[in-house]
Amino acid sequence: MTITHVFFDVGGVLATNGWDQEMRAAAARKFGFDPAEYAERHEEAVGTLEEGRMSLDEYLRCTVFYRERPFTREEFRAYMFAQSAPYPASIALARALAASGQYRMMTLNNEAAELNVYRLRQLGLLEIFTAFFTSCWMGALKPSRRIYERALAMSQADPERTVFVDDRERNLEPARALGMHGVQFTDVPRLRADLAALGVVS
């Protein structure tokens, strides 16, 4: 069966993760605050943030700036955003697939709205993908089945003609349960081969 839709995760596939555990720990060291306390506050807030029910400023007020700090919110935000770096080979592969005109290219990821918008622009993803099914706009997080169902419905994609690329197996399991072809990303040569096995070539 011919593949018509290709969904890509962003963090871990097309770029570094937006704000992962290692980045948060590094921020605590750089700015000199308690990493354990920040980790606890982050876990309490991150789901609300990434489902779009809390702004980034609200998140920072709850997790870092609940008391006076010797650095500004702007400095901390700039550090957060600066952690985003592209994976050029992955982006080049996605760009080639888009340029072939054979597939509807979309993203499906968990992210806070402000960081997501920054990354889409900074990484050049607006030029490659036609729709962005991000948790902050979908009101649901991977691996919840709901976000996959909504992405399929909104794109009018036949699950059997759809590929989803993600670096985490637990995010692929719900996609496969819905009939999508799940491909786990480890590196670009393997991804290229896995896609080719499904007939997805540029």
Distance (Å, whole) CA 152 – CA 162: 9
- Helices then strands, counting H and E runs in the chain, come out as 10, 5
* 136-173 residues labelled b (16+ CB within 10 A) or e (exposed): bebebbbbbeebbebbbeebebebebbbbbbbeeebbe
Distance (Å, whole) CA 112 – CA 134: 8
The stretch 122-132 carries a mean pLDDT of 97
pLDDT at res. 143: 98
Distance (Å, whole) CA 102 – CA 64: 46
Say if CB 14 and CB 78 are below 8 A apart.
Answer: no
The stretch 95-105 carries a mean pLDDT of 98
Structure tokens at 104: 């509807």
Asked whether the predicted pLDDT for residue 169 surpasses 90, the reply is yes
pLDDT at res. 1: 82
Provide the whole-model pTM: 0.96
pLDDT at res. 113: 97
What is the helix, strand, coil percentage profile of the chain, to 5? 55, 15, 35
pLDDT, tens only, 39-70: 999 999 999 999 999 999 999 999 999 999 99
pLDDT at res. 67: 96
pLDDT tier at 162 (50, 70, 90 boundaries)?
A: very high
pLDDT at res. 170: 98
pLDDT tier at 36 (50, 70, 90 boundaries)?
A: very high
pLDDT at res. 136: 98
Helix 35-50 to helix 56-63 angle (10° resolution) is 150
Distance (Å, whole) CA 138 – CA 150: 8
pLDDT at res. 108: 98
